[in-house]
Structure formats: structure tokens, C-alpha cells
Structure 1
Amino acid sequence: MSEYIHTAYKKAARIQTVVCGFLFAIFSFVYLYVFQRDILEALHFSLAHGKTHFAPLASALIITLSLILLRWGVNSLLRLKGNLRALSYFPSFLILGVLTNVGRDVYIYNHHTCWGWLLPVLLLVYILLGYGVGRFFKNQSNKEAGSVSQMNNGLLTIVLFSLMTVLIGNTERDFHHELEAERYLREHQYSEVLEVGKKSLKATRTLTVLRSMAMSHAGLLGEKLFAYPQYYRSDGLFFANDSTQTLRYTNDSIYYLLGAQPYKGEDRMEFLRNICYKGIGKYTALDYYLSSLLLEKQIDKFGEALVDFYDAEDTLPRYYKEAILMYRSSHPDYPFIIKDSVLIKRYDEYHKRKTGFTSFITERNGMRREFGDTYWWYFNYQE
């Protein structure tokens, strides 16, 4: 009878080991390859200084396999048994969290975090405690625990360690959106850049600039710009000077896109105007200049610039036409005439809909739901 119980215990232990190992492998792979892919790539680029290629699938598999082997090594050292066996996954889960605990300063030269000293200390404390706990509960862990008890304790431990990993790793949605958009931009997948965070009303300056760059590359600034939140006016076309707010792309990338660089201390709007009127920039510079005028709500200067660079018969992008409809209301002799009946009808509906609201906040929110993707809403309501 005792031999039967011992055999059942060993079988339960093997099942627990296989199930917990399988769950850890699945969690580790999905966590690294799906949820933290861009974080892991950013860490790789920082450590390798961009000298080696990052392979997300291979990296997720290799790291997962390495952490499984680490778990086996830890268990061989501490010899945890029974209900304590799943505790041997702690170092693997901890390292998994530390690998993805990457912040916005990851690309700064000599980047380092507190984990450089904290991780070894925690692992040392864990080994000492694990050894002590293993010895203290030696007799109890050697007893044949029920298979259900072992499995429940193992699963609970894996779940708790998984939560620990998620809490340690970077889960900041805005940062993930920025890294994802940057990756698509590097891969020249401009339409994919515009899908990142598309339904969210939140948009950091970095994400806004990355979207603008993608639109410019695809020739869609005039068609898509105000379909996305614009909270930074013309600053949303350029990165911040603070290196902790930018990723791998910098303003040098934008100047290369425009085909010219400003003089030291030159005003940004003046810089864009000069390269357009002097003809020293690339074709992308004109859309950048006209878009910056719209973003700054300088609609009079926009109207003047449009006459200088376009013919009245030219086909204009959507937001240029929307701006012209507004401009013509105070300048009826303006040479550009919008003949788009659908756009004209929507502009009339926009004006009719503005009446009947009880407060500005109610009006602003109500108009946003219906016309939030128009230049008219931006011009009248965006602060």
C-alpha cells in the first residue's frame, strides 16, 4: 500500500513539474514575443549599440529555454520538493521581469538601472532563504502530499510569479505605442504606424511626431493629419530636445526628411518658410510648412502660401480644402474654389450643429464626436 502511495506521489510530482514548466514556457514566450517585443528590442539595441540584428522569435525562444534551464539548476541546488517545488521558478520570473523593466532613458549613453545591483542581491537572498526553508520543511516536504494539493500550490505559485513579472516589467501603454510606431517606421510600413493607438484620444508628442513622419513619407500629411489628436501645435511635427522624450529618431531624422537643416537659433516656422520659398528643401518640406501653419491656426498665412505654391486647378488634399472653406468665408474673392459637394454639405452641417448646446464643454465634446476628425473642430475647439 505504501509503495502504491509513493508511486502516486512521484507521478503527481512529475505531472506538477510538467504542467508548471509548460505554463511557464507559454507565459514567457507570449510575454516576450507578443506583449514586450518592442521593449526587448529596445534593450537589445541599447546593449548592442545597434551593431547586431534583433530577431524577436529567436530571442523569445532562447530566453525562455534559458530560464527553464535556470529553473532546473535552481531546483537541483535547493532541492525543493512537494508544495515548495514551484518556488524554484522565482529567479526565472524575476529575470523575465527585469529584462522588460526598460524606461524611456534606454537609449541614453551609459544607460543603467538599479537592477544592476538589486538583482544579484535579491537572487542571493532568495538562495539563502530557499536553502533555509528547504531544510526547515525538509520532513514535511518529504511526506507524500496529495496530487491535487501539489497541483493547486504549483498553479497558484505560477500565477503569483506571473503577476510579479508583469508588475516589474514596463506596461506603460504610451511607451509601448511609441516603440511600436518607431519599429514600423524603420521598416517603412507607414500605414501600420498610423494604426498604432488609432482609437485612443491620448497621444504623446513623440507618437504624434512619428505619425507625422509616416504621413510625410507616404504623402498623406494633408489627408490624415487631423484624423489624429493634435495637442502640440507645430511642435507635434518635431521631437522634443529632451533626450528622455525621444527614441531612436531625432530631429536630425526630420531635417533629413525635409532636405535642409535650420541655422542655430533659427525660428522653426521661419526655417520651414525659407526652405520652401528658396526651394532648398525636398518635396516633403512644403507639406510640413503648410501643416505647421494649420496647426498654429495661421490660416491667413496658409491661404497666402497656397496661392504661392499651388494652382487654382490643382487637386488639394482633404485638410487643405477644409481650411479653404473656412478661409473663403472671410475672403470671398480667394482664387481657390472648393467644388466638393460632400465636403461643402458637411461644413454646412458643422455650422448648424454648433447651435443648441448649453455650455462650451458640452458643445466641444458633442462636436468632437461628430466632427473631431476635421480641421474645423481643431481650429475652433483645440486649445
Structure 2
Amino acid sequence: MMSNSGQFKDGTGIMRLVCAIFFILFTLLYLNKYQPDILAVTQHVLSHGATHYNNVVGTILITLILWLIQAAIYAGTKLNHRAHALTYLPSMLLLAVLTDVSPNLTSGNYLGVWAWLFPLLMVVYACVVWFFKQLEPMEPALLSSGVFSRLTWVNLLQLVSCAFIVCSIGCSDAVFHSRMRMEGELMKGDCHEAVGVGRTVAKVDSSLSMLRIVALTKDRSLCERLFEYPLIGGSDAMLPNEKSVKLMMLPEDSVYAIFGIVFKEKMRPLTYLKCVNKSKYANKDSRDWLLCAYLLDCDLDHFATALPRYYKVNKPLPKAFREALVLYNHLRKRPLVIYKDPAMDADYEDFKKVYYQTSNAIARLSNVKDGYGTTYWFYYLSHSGSLRH
């Protein structure tokens, strides 16, 4: 048997060291930077909320376990040449399985097809390892050694390929990542960090829309910044319904705690908010949510009717309300609320000019998105389909 010093002299030791460094660095970065929120929700769901994932401890522990698995496989196979990278394959596959999580995760469906596919792949893997082990005595002599040897780069290329496969199998759903990150930040009480999550992600679902509304409420900037984010689902996305709008880690009670009351009868968010505002539990947040609910549904008439009950229209208003009133006054011949804001009126006229530059509906949206994508006008246009009554 070749000693460790002999292996380093013939180049295999350096090759193994380079492979180990690559594997450890990739695993650490993949777990710590890319998948921590997915691992957090996985642990939460599988433990039924009894335990919480610690990113630092979890990353180190998982990396160590996977590296020990590789070390055990190497000790048993002694694959030491062009097929050495195969000793990392089970660890890489386990890493992929661990992070192959969907938004429909439950404690009963975590493994899914992996429950039978992983054992099958391991049987195939054992056959492949045996085959390459038989070929090792026929390996040609190494013409070079060290970091830049062909042996090192052949194995490194195999590991890079495995890394790409791991990334393709693991959860890459940007919306789900954003949701879990936001839930994690809200659970920690860091609402300021939560409102910045996924801001540049164009895709959105109803659950993410609800989380943004909750985060902005806790950050005291709901009516100012709500329509600066992509939103979907209208007012129905404001509260969890356990179907299209749901929470994975954050307790539902933390959402209803904003209003201090939960009705026994399950209601649509708009109905719930109307009931809250008729009760003794009505507060500033419940009123703002009701006004935002009307805006999310593009219901400018009910918004204009309700706004004077809660705000003095001749006083400074939040950005979203100002934009909605300007739009309302331009769309209605006889508005119930007269509102003038010269600067914003001028901006709206510029918005219309850009919008009417073309007759193509898709091109119109694209034209106004760059300059006005964070305004209520763009939200109204993209959800109602036109700038008409």
C-alpha cells in the first residue's frame, strides 16, 4: 500500500487535497449563503416547530458529516486516480436531496421520490465504483503532478459538474427563498431587514404579497411604500387562508395580532377588515389595511369614500394615497373627493404621455415600468388593464 508521502510525491495526495478543499468550500457557501432559509423551514416543518435552525452550527455540522461520509467511502474504495471524485458523489447527492424542498413541504412528503430513487442510485453507484476500481491498475503513469496536473483537473472538473447538479436539484425558487427569508426576519423581529427582502425579484405570489404587507406594517411604512413592490392577489392576499396564502414558519397569530382580534368565522380579508373597523378593536393599522385593500382591488370609489373618515385630505398624505387620489381625480368626471397636488399631477401627465406613445398593450406596460414601476399608477394599470373608468 502506498504511504501518504508516496501519494504526495506521485501527485495523488495533492489532487485529493484540492478536491477536499473544493468540496468543503462549495458546501459551506451553498449551505450558508444560498440555502439557509430553505434549511430553516425544513427543520421547522419536520420538527413541527419544536426546534429552530442555526445557520452557523447547521452549516458546519452538515459539511462535517458529508465530508466524513466521503472520507469513509475513500477509505473503503481507495479510488485514487481519475475516478477519485466519485468518492464525493454520495455526499453531493445527499446535499441535493437535503435542499430539494418545494413550497408544498410537509413532514410527510419531504423525501418524495428520493425515498426510492436515492437507494437505487446508490446501487448503481456501487457498480460504477467497482468498475473504475478494476480499471485503476491499467491507469497510465502520471506525466505531471501538483495542482496543475491533468489528474487534478480531471477530478476537479467532475466535482464542478457535481456542484452544478446539486444547484439544479436544490431549491432555486426565488419567490420561495424570499418568503422564507422574510418569515425568518419577521420571527426575529427585524422588520426593517424583512422589507428589503426580494425587492428586486420580479416574480411574486400571494403569500409573498401578504408577507410584504405585514413587514411594511411593522416597519410603519405600509401606506408609503406598498406599491413600490410587485404584488399579486388583490385584497384576498392580505391574510392567510391556508391555500393560496399561507405561512410556513411564522405563526398566523402574529399577523392577526396587528388588529388584536380573530373572528371564529373565516372571512375574506376585505370582509374581516370591515368588521374590525366597525368594532372597538379598530386602530390605525386596521384603517390603513382597509384603505390599502381597496387600492389592491383597484376600487378607487370605495377608497375615496372611506379615506376622509380616517384622514384629513387637506393634510399631508402617504405616497400611495396621494397617487391614488390623483389617479381617481383624473379618471372621474365628478370625484367625491377633490384633490390637487401640482407636482404629482405633472408626474401623472408625464406618465400618461409615456403610456400613450404606443397602442400595443404590452409595450405600454413596458414603457411606463422603468420610470413609474414603483407607483400606484403602474399597479392600477397592470391590474385593471387600462387608464379608463
- Matched to 1:248, the amino acid is M
| Unmatched segments (≥5 aa) in structure 1 | none
Equivalent position of 1:15 in the other structure: 14
1:241 Cα deviation (Å)?
A: 3.0
Are 2:130 and 1:131 aligned? yes
The structure-2 alpha-carbon separation of the partners of 1:47 and 1:72, relative to structure 1 and needing over 3 Å to count, comes to same
Q: Which residue number in structure 2 is paired with residue 210 of structure 1?
A: 211
Tell me the equivalent position of 1:93: 92
What TM-score do the two structures reach when normalised by structure 1? 0.87
Which residue identity does 1:145 align to in structure 2? L
Are the equivalent residues in 1 in contact too, given 2:23–2:159 (CA < 8 A)? Answer: yes
Q: Are 1:303 and 2:304 matched, yes or no?
A: yes
The residue matched to 1:259 in structure 2 has which SS? coil
Aligned to 1:325: 326
Spell out the pairing of 1:1-383 with structure 2 (5 A cutoff).
7=6, 10-108=9-107, 111-134=110-133, 136-141=134-139, 144-146=141-143, 147=145, 148-242=149-243, 246-249=247-250, 252-264=253-265, 266-329=267-330, 330=332, 337-338=339-340, 340-383=341-384
C-alpha distance in structure 2 between counterparts of 1:138 and 1:380, whole Å: 66
Q: Which moved more, 1:57-66 or 1:40-49?
A: 40-49
Aligned-residue offset at 1:282: 4.3
Task: Report the CA distance shift for 1:177/1:116 in structure 2 as closer, same or farther (over 3 A).
Answer: same
Classify the secondary structure of the residue corresponding to 1:82.
coil
1:262, 1:268 within 8 Å by CA — same for their partners in 2? no
- Asked if structure 2 preserves the Cα contact closer than 8 Å seen for 1:258 and 1:285, the reply is yes
Q: Is the 8 A contact 2:7 2:13 kept in 1?
A: no
- Equivalent residues of 2:236, 2:270 under 8 A apart: no
Q: Which amino acid aligns with 2:188?
A: E
The one-letter code of the counterpart of 2:105 is V
Letter in 2 for 1:247: M
Deviations 1:81-118 (A, max 9, x none): 22222221111111111111111122456644232333
Q: Is the 8 A contact 1:80 1:88 kept in 2?
A: yes
> Which stretch shifts more, 214-223 or 328-337?
328-337
Distance 1:356 1:128 in 2: 65
Shift of 1:322: 1.7
Change (3 A) 1:333 1:53: closer
Give, as a single letter, the amino acid of the residue that structure 2 aligns with 1:60: T
Q: Cα offset for 1:267?
A: 4.4
2:239–2:269 contact (8 Å) kept in structure 1: no
Question: 2-side partners of 1:149 and 1:59: how far apart?
Answer: 35
Gaps of 5+ in 2: 385-389
Task: Report if the CA contact (8 A) 2:237-2:245 is conserved.
Answer: no
Is the CA contact 1:257–1:282 (under 8 Å) kept in the aligned structure 2? Answer: no
The Cα shift of 1:75 comes to: 1.0
- Greater shift after overlay, 192-201 or 73-82? 192-201
- Distance in 2 (CA, whole Å) between partners of 1:49 and 1:322 is 44
Q: CA RMSD in A?
A: 2.8
By how many angstroms is 1:129 displaced?
3.5
Q: How far did residue 347 of structure 1 move?
A: 2.6
Secondary structure at the aligned position of 2:11 is classed as helix
| SS of residue matched to 1:382 | helix
1:317 maps to amino acid: P
Offset of residue 359 of structure 1: 3.1
Asked whether the 8 Å contact 2:204–2:230 carries over to 1, the reply is: yes
- Give the number of aligned pairs: 376
Q: Structure 1's 109 and 305: CA in aligned 2 closer, same or farther, altered over 3 A?
A: farther
Q: Which has the higher helix share?
A: 1
Structure 1 residue 346: deviation in Å?
1.5
SS class of match (2:184): helix
Deviations 1:245-298 (A, max 9, x none): 642246554323222224525443222112113232443211111100111122
| More deviation, 262-271/81-90 | 262-271
